[in-house]
Structure 1
Amino acid sequence: MTRIIQSLSQIGTNYDVLFCDLWGCLHNGKQPYAAAVAALQDFRKNGGRVVLMTNAPRPNQYVIAQLDRMNVPRDTWDMVISSGDAAQDAMFAGAVGRKVWHIGTAKDDGFFNDVPEEWADQPDVTRVPLEEAEGIVATGPFDEINEAPEDYRARFMLARERGLKLLCANPDVVVDMGETRIYCAGALAEFYEELGGESLYFGKPHPPIYERARRLMNLTDNSRILAVGDGINTDIRGAAQEGIDALFVTGGLAAAAFGDDVENPDPELLREWLASRQLHPEYSIGRLR
């Protein structure tokens, strides 16, 4: 059964590295959570290292720029690793061809335009209309505020008939932008699979993003890593699959399931909810603090 804790400091000395989610843990898409910032700063002051691991569909420099705009202090983290980083590697390797139909907004242009040095000598990946595409790259809906996966049914049916693979740059299904819940690329990828198409994933809970983090941080031992996140099917499932301990932040996406007090989840509601999903994170906390 998961152990409900009141602060990261209760267990922090058991770990050397945190793989910490951003949205719902460190910030709400608009501003950081002060207590979470302080908790990560304290962990680092005591010798720990923090990897901010996000399913954002953009290369990490864009994630860092967003954190700077939200005034998240640089001493909160050591490294930022995004789903966009891992998915970029696959795209430039040709996982879905060289001519792709991009589903997403202009804020994700860097996914295509900022070519990593190791791929600079490879043929270009160009964005084309669906009718000309060899594959699909989804970084999110065209209109993330108003669109739902069902809006893509006709186009996805056409893509499926042509045998196009969909590269999903962000496996998250939904996130909360302040008080507004929006769909992410993961919702589109899942819907495409429901229609019979094939989707490729590179962020949490899938192995590539964890492999990248371990490689860049020179990690060989999972026993001293703690994954922190509010996504049960991304952060917590991914940790379980990788053999990494997990701290489930209950006050994020699933907050309404655990009672009226976001800071203090109801233990029985939490136990039943986790059991129904067959996931058992070592620890749970209302808000990261």
Structure 2
Amino acid sequence: MTQIIANLAQISARYDAVFCDLWGCLHNGVAPFPAAVAALQAFRAKGGKVILLTNAPRPKSSIVKQLDEMSVPRDAWDDVVTSGDAAQYAMLTGAVGHKVHFIGATKDEVFFTDFADDLQAVAAANPAMTRVPTKDAEGLVVTGLVDDLTETPEDYRATLLLAKNLGLPMLCANPDIIVHMGSKLLYCAGALAKEYEAMGGTALYFGKPHPPIYDLARRRLVVLGGAEEARILCIGDGIHTDVQGAIGESLDALFVTGGIAHESFGADSNNPDKDLLEDWLEAGMLSPGYSIGNLR
């Protein structure tokens, strides 16, 4: 049974660090949530470490730039770890070959060129990546839809069928199926990966809830001065990404009900209906230790 809490401060003393999701928790893709920013600032002010853990397919530097453009204060976090960072390591080491066909937006082109400090040595030590048409590829690298404002996974059916028939593995840089941008829902790379798997193709995942992104976050936490056995709380609004990932890593989870699934818990997104929440979690067979309407 999950415990509904009023604010992060209610439990923050139990933890040395938080791994906090971005979309739906800290911002909505357009602007930050002031109460969430204040909660993370307060946690850090008491000595806690905050790592922003996101399934964004782009490298850390791109997300930092995005946060700056949205005016998310830098004193609300210590480091950023992306699904893109974890997937870049796999790509550079040849998880889907070194000749790949790329599916993604123009903004995601940096996936092939911009590497965090701890990945630059990996890039230098491995063969260069070459982008080729599907028919010449050893694998697919998918960061998302080319135009997620207008396209759906159905627009990629022909490409995915060809790749499946050629036996190409897919590197999925973002396991999320959908995200909110303001009030709009957008498809992510995970939607293409699920479509590919339904066809019989093989997809490899590196973001939440899969271990590689947590392994990378722990390594960066140690670099920040955190203990290897730090007490970590995972915060997120994705039951099958943030919560499932935390449980798989034996970490505590704080489920933000006011995010992507907010319509399931009553009219007041700040105060989820306990009975609706318990029924919903039971149906999903996942139960976070804590839940909160919105991070604050």
TM-score using structure 1 length: 0.98
Measure the CA separation in 1 of the matches of 2:120 and 2:187: 31
Q: Which residue pairs with 1:49 in the alignment?
A: 49
Counterparts of 1:248-263 in structure 2, within 5 Å, are 248-263=255-270
Secondary structure of 1:167 counterpart: strand
How far the C-alpha of 1:220 sits from its partner, in A, is 2.7
Measure the CA separation in 1 of the matches of 2:179 and 2:150: 14
Q: In the alignment, is residue 64 of structure 1 matched against residue 57 of structure 2?
A: no
Secondary structure of 1:152 counterpart: helix
Measure the CA separation in 1 of the matches of 2:150 and 2:268: 30
Task: Answer with 116-125 or 168-177: which moved more.
Answer: 116-125
Measure the CA separation in 2 of the matches of 1:179 and 1:282: 28
Measure the CA separation in 2 of the matches of 1:259 and 1:104: 36
Amino acid at match of 1:117: Q
Q: Which residue pairs with 1:36 in the alignment?
A: 36
How far the C-alpha of 1:216 sits from its partner, in A, is 1.8
Secondary structure of 1:287 counterpart: coil
How many positions carry a matched residue from both structures? 288
Measure the CA separation in 2 of the matches of 1:126 and 1:55: 24
Secondary structure of 2:148 counterpart: coil
Q: 2:157 aligns with which of 146, 149, 153?
A: 153
Secondary structure of 2:53 counterpart: strand
Counterparts of 1:1-289 in structure 2, within 5 Å, are 1-115=1-115, 116-118=119-121, 119-218=123-222, 219-221=227-229, 224-289=231-296
Measure the CA separation in 1 of the matches of 2:243 and 2:277: 14
How far the C-alpha of 1:166 sits from its partner, in A, is 0.3
- Runs of at least 5 residues in structure 2 that lack an aligned partner in the other structure: none
**Cα displacement string for residues 114-141 of structure 1 (whole angstroms, at most 9, x for unaligned residues):** 2442112422112111122111000001
Amino acid at match of 2:277: L
How far the C-alpha of 1:150 sits from its partner, in A, is 2.1
Amino acid at match of 2:228: T
Runs of 4+ in 1 over 6 A off after TM superposition: none
Measure the CA separation in 2 of the matches of 1:153 and 1:263: 39
**Cα displacement string for residues 217-274 of structure 1 (whole angstroms, at most 9, x for unaligned residues):** 124326x110000011100000010000000000000000001001000000000000
Amino acid at match of 1:239: A
Measure the CA separation in 2 of the matches of 1:92 and 1:35: 39
Task: Answer with 116-125 or 37-46: which moved more.
Answer: 116-125
Percent identity between matched residues is: 59
Measure the CA separation in 2 of the matches of 1:172 and 1:89: 19
**Cα displacement string for residues 36-62 of structure 1 (whole angstroms, at most 9, x for unaligned residues):** 000000000011110000001011011
How far the C-alpha of 1:11 sits from its partner, in A, is 0.3
Measure the CA separation in 1 of the matches of 2:173 and 2:288: 26
TM-score using structure 2 length: 0.95
- Runs of at least 5 residues in structure 1 that lack an aligned partner in the other structure: none
Secondary structure of 1:209 counterpart: helix
Secondary structure of 2:160 counterpart: helix
